Structure 1
């Protein structure tokens, strides 16, 4: 992921320096375990831990000859360690250390994302409480439906983020595994206890069975989880973008002093941050497809997954981390306009009360089909000819035969639709 969208903490996890350091940590943990079991001299293990180091430029230099990055890495480490380097990588294959290291990095990335999501959830909850009773129009198919509150919308988003937290926690567990079982997973040249000891020290769980690699359904589940999170973020961002439309303008992104919206039009205040989140979510979903393609490998392993993962794992984790933090800031500073919400609620001249009016007629013993027809014909006059809906209803003999003026007036009260808001919000502790 380009630096523009990379937060330092997540960027550090996926840096080349940290990747090689994590691989070295796996190698040293294996040496420590072997020394503990008496398979290599304890002094050798101490010497390895004291001297082991690497130089990225030197690794690249060696790899230009070997065309094998792990061999280049081991050769470079040996240059620092000396004779005891013969014990490094004993009984292991490249994927033992690489896969275990990558899973550890994925686990660490998930922990950062979980922290991001929990902070975002709390911002959503705080703002949901703030606008708990702020009336606005609910829209279905983009068309005015019935009154609701803006707080309900925010509470709904917090519930979605809560489910995303649960998903990421599960995905983290799925990839918090390690594997040190040799070329085809049979422990042909290594004691299975080494794997158990290394994984315990790294905070991982040994996979029950592996080939040369940890199976990529784990990685795919992790990546599809990130894609769901990104889609949730995009959903929220898209709703903010819609609320910021000039002809709606019920809420909008904070516009900082000195900010410019257009090189041509000085008046512009564009939802650029939400648009950025929407765009970046597409990348994460695309990467999830690539991760599913990686599940299929030849026999006990081929390398077709490797080039893909070098791109998609850092890109998607960095992306979701960035977008979650960005959207947290957007919602935290979101400008909300309750008066505009009330104004928009009245724009259809009372059409939003059509269901309540229909049900009031039905309550008098009228067939639903007849009541629907009577209310709809008055509603269509408002839609197509701009006539006043309420006035026409009050003059409609079919309706006034069953409803008094006071009963009709009672139907045109938005507060009726919000009478259960407190009950709904109690479910969220708000």
Structure 2
């Protein structure tokens, strides 16, 4: 945990105890299926259930024994059967018909469901906070930057609306992924042979019953070497990390003192430096970025493993999934929670945003000026002069004077030419459909609770 800042938010989400408990849950679920098929009694189920609490087990010897079998299911079963009583009917019924991969894959899907529930909840909180920012700051002028340089005027509301759409899209994908997490039930080679022997003609029914007992989706068929469920889960978590990382990156950049447009919410002890007492680091956004940087590589590892899943049971490729999947399941919920905290209390410095807009000068509306100039009376001569002035960083007064030469006083009475020039140079008059984009994002968010995707 020392090297995973924020993991204390949910310290047992994906640790050894959580994995062990999830495996026990699968075994109990399978006993219940057997009871529904008439293969064991409810008393047998009750016996196993009474011994299926991970907190009652010493996990140290289990951990030590994992290497011998290559996976944690084997020592888990030994510990469970020993706790129940090895020669009892209940102990005999535990796990029969299944294989280790059935149990661990299903257990990981259970853990994934719990992880996604947190992701969905925290993305919702982040989105609601962002919706408030978008609405509140729909008229707050901001420099839009492309390739790191000032480009055009926009509003902070429009920027936040972009964040909102991304968060709502990620939440919708995570919700769909949570509903689709499948059970694994195939037996030793994916043919359900042992299950069919136990309950002739009811093997598929048994697999579906296990999904029902565990609250997972029916798989249709075993996926021992078709690792689509894992890679799709990984892809959703990576895309979520992408959305979180982009927003966090914007906040980090905009909180630089030379811009001073945003600040993370202040909290006792947060954002300090070990040597520089004056610093207020955007530490939560930095941690979110760190998760987003790592996530694609974890997802890539899942795809590499999927491509190498040989024969009917993988020889190492399955094992290679565990650590990257655990990394995603543990880090993305934390990142979503951290960003939700940031967005809920984000300090928006509208005065600094306006200062930076003014500092960009007429170049910020260069696109508009160069489009309008050819229509002015002396546009043909003015165009080259204007381009040269903008390249040289001319200020508002100089550009105003250039434009004034193309608008003689008699072009319109009562000072209208001056007002027209003021309008041409006004960043607030060249915002496109920024306000409408805010409305769209807010409408989508309000209508579905998640918003639409671009």
SS in structure 1 at match of 2:139: coil
Asked if structure 2 preserves the Cα contact closer than 8 Å seen for 1:378 and 1:393, the reply is: no
User: Do the aligned partners of residues 178 and 350 (structure 1) sit closer, same or farther apart at CA in structure 2, a change above 3 Å counting?
Assistant: same
Cα 1:178–1:343 shift into 2, 3 Å: same
Q: Paired residue for 1:203?
A: 215
Q: Does 1:77 align with 2:55?
A: no
- The equivalent of 1:356 in structure 2 is 368
Question: How many Å separate the matches in 1 of 2:297 and 2:159?
Answer: 28
Which of 155, 158, 171 is the aligned partner of 1:152?
Answer: 158
The yes-or-no answer on 1:106 pairing with 2:112 is yes
Cα displacement string for residues 374-430 of structure 1 (whole angstroms, at most 9, x for unaligned residues)? 42122123x2xxx43542552479744797444323312233124744433221337
Provide the residue aligned with 2:451 in structure 1.
none
- Aligned pair in 2 of structure 1 residues 412, 44: CA closer, same or farther (>3 Å)? closer
Between the aligned partners of 1:88 and 1:147, the Cα distance in structure 2 is 66
Contact 1:184 1:210 in 2 (8 A): no
Equivalents in 2 of 1:78, 1:258: separation in Å?
48
Secondary structure at 1:13 match in 2: coil
Q: Structure 1: state its 5+ residue gaps.
A: none
- Report the equivalent of 2:200: none
| Structure 2: segments with no counterpart, 5+ residues | 197-202, 412-416, 444-454
Tell me the residue number matched to 2:188.
Answer: 183
Q: Tell me if structure 1 keeps the 8 A contact 2:182–2:218.
A: yes
User: CA offsets per residue over residues 91-138 of structure 1, 9 Å max, x none?
Assistant: 211111111111121122111111111111001001212212111222
Contact 1:179 1:214 in 2 (8 A): no
Measured on the aligned residues, the alpha-carbon RMSD in Å equals 2.8
Structure 1 residues 223-242: aligned runs within 5 Å:
223-242=234-253
Matched residue, 1:308: 320
Tell me the TM-score normalised to structure 1 length: 0.88
What TM-score, normalized to structure 2? 0.84
How big is the shift at 1:36? 2.6
Measured in 2, the distance between the counterparts of 1:5 and 1:409 equals 50
> Matched residue of 2:154: which SS?
strand
| Aligned residue pairs, count | 422
* 1:40 counterpart residue number: 40
Instruction: Encode CA deviations 1:59-85: one digit per residue, 9 max, x unaligned.
Output: 345557656532222222111222221
Q: Which moved more, 1:402-411 or 1:155-164?
A: 402-411
SS in 2 for 1:190: helix
Q: Classify 1:162/1:209 alpha carbon distance in 2 versus 1 (closer, same or farther; 3 Å).
A: same
Helix, strand or coil: the match of 1:178?
Answer: coil
Aligned 1:11-410 pairs, distance under 5 A: 11-52=11-52, 54-60=57-63, 62-63=65-66, 69-82=72-85, 83-84=88-89, 85-174=91-180, 176-191=181-196, 192=203, 193-210=205-222, 213=224, 215-256=226-267, 261-295=272-306, 296-364=308-376, 372-381=383-392, 383=393, 387-395=394-402, 399-400=406-407, 404-410=417-423
What is the rounded CA distance, in whole Å, between the counterparts of 1:424 and 1:65 in structure 2? 58
Instruction: Check whether the contact 1:374–1:398 (CA below 8 A) recurs between aligned residues.
Output: no
